[in-house]
């Protein structure tokens, strides 16, 4: 497309940005105006290839607005492409409109929910990895970032991984407009500093001194080398509020919209706006994605019980032949999470994310958008630093289909100490809408629950234990999401003990001790913490005098609170034994006793009642 036509399209896009934000009375017009020429050139200059009528075509190029507050620009581009109407734009930020304040996949051209800054590049890495290593397709992924957001460490986690995996099909577009929300950014307009940083991470750098010169913008896109073995970053000097004199490079306008009078003044400055002019996006190169046919791996059956973390690794290998869309990501602890078991069997579907948990989750989301089913694992404690990425993943259309596993859960890991102990993970994952939270107590149930996770569409979390636990179940025993297993029951049970994972074994030991003193205790394996088996819990509440939950997790947000909430309308009291003291290094049995969640503590609590 001729530069003169691109210039007219850029004017139209700017008009739409100002009109929709003025109508909405909120939004970020100035942040959108700075990147208008960069993205108009990308979309309509022949670089970006996309079938607008088939947004899920696997051969389409992909665009991520990591700078999610520039959503007015995002929507204006699709209006200029003929996908949205002027009337559609007037619903921007309105209740029920797919044109949300920050893009989400409720608008089908948005790959993922963005706007929590620093995550888009990692999502783009996942999409680019899918193209290069899984589908083996020639599409490219573009990620628009703002200069403020590159202060986020997650950006650099993504940058180093993109270089490590030689993703020359990934292009970052850095909108250096100098002004953040409250003033100047860290590096102002120091393009050389940005270039040096990305170059140090192994990126091919292209610097644009004027990101509003459409001839220069188009030349920069032509300079991208998709065969160089390195990702590319286009670093462009821009002006916040470009196109409107009283907005240009002015502090104090971030996240502010124009009054009607200011809008009228701005439109005059823009010049003639041709609302009958539409841009054309080139179609993608069509080719077939590669297919993966995993060969079943024969594993020797272990006569002895395994830890649930080891059973997790074995289960991944077992389900691979029936789940060809699965991939496995691990954060340099695969020999502890036992994801390495899968990596040895199927190295072409195992991706090392190194010690960068935030980026690991973003990459998993990127892979999920392309139809992969990622299994993501690390120590449960370390998922807490990536929880914002997990939280954002839940906003994927029809739910992100990601499976998380946190190993080394609870104080029972022992002498490594509190920095390694996952004690908040159940609470975190319970907060997600429609999430599934599972906590197996032996190797047999672990294998069954891993398969259930793989078959369930949505975010699932499994908690695994470091220690080898006694085997409780037989092959073929039934498990369901939302189920439980009652392991000890009589007609004269006086109390119900509810445990999961390692504390289930403590509950069983306590039940034996109590039975010897004439107190029968029902024991329930609450392996599905979310959703709960409410029917079984209500039966127990009706048939016993009290319910005691026991968990190797902080009390807040854990099993006890989940059970108490589920039974809030019944008279039977619910008591919680949980981690309530700051833990320390020690032997597992010492720590369970210290936190009063071992068999002896359970017996004492029942006797007190």
The residues carrying an active-site annotation are 357
The CA distance from 478 to 367, in Å, is 31
CB 371 within 8 A of CB 409: no
**Does 531 sit behind a cis peptide bond, omega within 30 degrees of 0 on the bond before it?**
yes
Q: Which residues pair with 143 in a beta bridge?
A: 64, 172
User: What angle (nearest 5°) sits at the alpha carbon of residue 109, between those of residues 253 and 94?
Assistant: 50
- 319 torsion bin: left (phi>0), alpha (psi -120 to 50), beta (else): alpha
Q: Which residues pair with 204 in a beta bridge?
A: 232
> What tokens were used for 567?
């039974």
Helices (H) and strands (E) in the chain, counts: 22, 17
Query: Which pairs from 3-9 meet CB under 8 Å and 24+ separation?
Result: 3/214, 3/215, 3/218, 5/277, 6/40, 6/41, 6/44, 6/45, 6/214, 6/218, 7/214, 8/274, 8/277, 9/40, 9/44, 9/80, 9/277, 9/279
CB 365 within 8 A of CB 393: yes
Q: Which of 554, 461, 573, 553 is nearest to 503 (CA)?
A: 553
Cβ of 274: how many Cβ atoms within 10 Å? 12
DSSP labels, 490-550: -TT--EEEEE-THHHHHHHHHHHHHHHTT--EEEEE--EEES--HHHHHHHHHHSS-EEEE
Secondary structure of the chain: what % helix, strand, coil (to 5)?
Answer: 40, 15, 45
Cβ of 543: how many Cβ atoms within 10 Å? 16
Q: Tell me, what DSSP letter sits at residue 554?
A: E
How distant, in Å, are the alpha carbons of 297, 306, 312 from that of 341? 11, 14, 9
Cβ of 144: how many Cβ atoms within 10 Å? 27
What element of type H or E holds 574? strand 574-579
Q: Which of 510, 507, 494, 508 is nearest to 543 (CA)?
A: 494
Sheet holding 141-146, edge to edge: 62-65, 141-146, 170-176, 232-237, 204-208
């Amino acid at each position: 497309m001729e530069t003169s036509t691109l210039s007219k399209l850029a004017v139209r896009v700017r008009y739409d940005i100002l009109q929709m934000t003025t109508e909405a009375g909120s939004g970020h017009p100035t942040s959108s105006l700075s990147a208008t020429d960069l993205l108009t050139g990308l979309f309509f200059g022949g670089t970006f290839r996309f079938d607008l009528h088939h947004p899920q075509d696997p051969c389409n190029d992909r665009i991520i607005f990591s700078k999610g507050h520039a959503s007015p620009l995002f929507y204006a581009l699709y209006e200029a492409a003929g996908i949205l109407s002027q009337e559609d734009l007037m619903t921007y930020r309105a209740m029920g409109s797919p044109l949300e304040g920050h893009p989400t996949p409720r608008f089908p051209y948005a790959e993922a929910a963005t706007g929590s800054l620093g995550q888009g590049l990692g999502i783009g890495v996942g999409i680019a990895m899918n193209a290069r290593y899984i589908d083996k397709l020639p599409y490219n992924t573009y990620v628009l970032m703002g200069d403020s957001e590159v202060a986020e460490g997650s950006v650099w986690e993504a940058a180093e991984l993109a270089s490590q995996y030689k993703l020359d099909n990934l292009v970052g577009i850095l909108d250096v407009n100098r002004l953040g929300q409250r003033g100047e950014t860290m590096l102002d307009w120091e393009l050389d500093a940005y270039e040096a940083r990305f170059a140090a991470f192994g990126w091919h750098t292209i610097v644009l001194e004027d990101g509003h010169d459409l001839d220069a913008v188009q030349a920069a896109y032509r300079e991208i080398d998709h065969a160089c073995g390195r990702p590319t970053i286009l670093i462009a000097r821009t002006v916040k509020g470009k196109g409107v004199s009283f907005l240009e490079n002015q502090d104090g306008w971030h996240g502010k919209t124009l009054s009607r009078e200011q809008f009228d003044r701005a439109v005059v400055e823009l010049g003639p706006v041709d609302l009958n002019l539409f841009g054309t996006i080139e179609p993608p190169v069509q080719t077939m994605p590669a297919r993966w046919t995993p060969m079943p791996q024969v594993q020797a059956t272990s006569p002895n019980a395994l830890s649930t973390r080891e059973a997790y690794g074995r289960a991944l290998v077992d389900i691979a032949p029936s789940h060809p869309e699965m991939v496995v990501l691990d954060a340099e602890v695969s020999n502890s999470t036992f994801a390495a078991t899968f990596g040895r069997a199927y190295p072409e579907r195992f991706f090392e994310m190194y010690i960068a948990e935030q980026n690991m989750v973003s990459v998993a989301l990127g892979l999920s958008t392309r139809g992969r089913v990622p299994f993501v694992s690390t120590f449960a404690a370390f998922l807490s630093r990536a929880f914002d990425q997990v939280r954002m993943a839940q906003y994927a259309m029809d739910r992100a289909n990601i499976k998380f596993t946190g190993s080394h859960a609870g104080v029972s890991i022992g002498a490594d100490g509190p920095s390694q102990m996952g004690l908040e993970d159940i609470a975190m994952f319970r907060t997600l809408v429609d999430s599934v939270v599972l906590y197996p107590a032996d190797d047999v149930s672990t294998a069954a629950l891993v398969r259930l996770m793989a078959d369930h569409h949505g975010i699932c979390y499994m908690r695994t234990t470091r220690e080898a636990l006694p085997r409780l179940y037989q092959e073929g025993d039934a498990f369901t999401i939302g189920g439980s297993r009652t392991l000890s029951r009589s007609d004269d049970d006086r109390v119900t003990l509810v445990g999961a994972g390692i504390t289930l074994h403590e509950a069983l030991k306590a039940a034996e001790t109590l039975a010897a003193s004439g107190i029968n205790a029902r024991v329930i394996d609450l392996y599905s913490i979310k959703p709960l088996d409410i029917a079984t819990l209500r039966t127990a509440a009706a048939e016993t005098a009290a319910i005691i939950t026991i968990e190797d997790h902080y009390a807040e947000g854990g099993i006890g609170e989940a059970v108490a909430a589920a039974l809030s309308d019944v008279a039977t009291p619910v008591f919680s034994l949980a981690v309530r003291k700051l833990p320390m290094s020690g032997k597992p049995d010492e720590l369970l006793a210290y936190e009063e969640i071992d068999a002896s503590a359970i017996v004492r609590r029942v006797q007190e009642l």
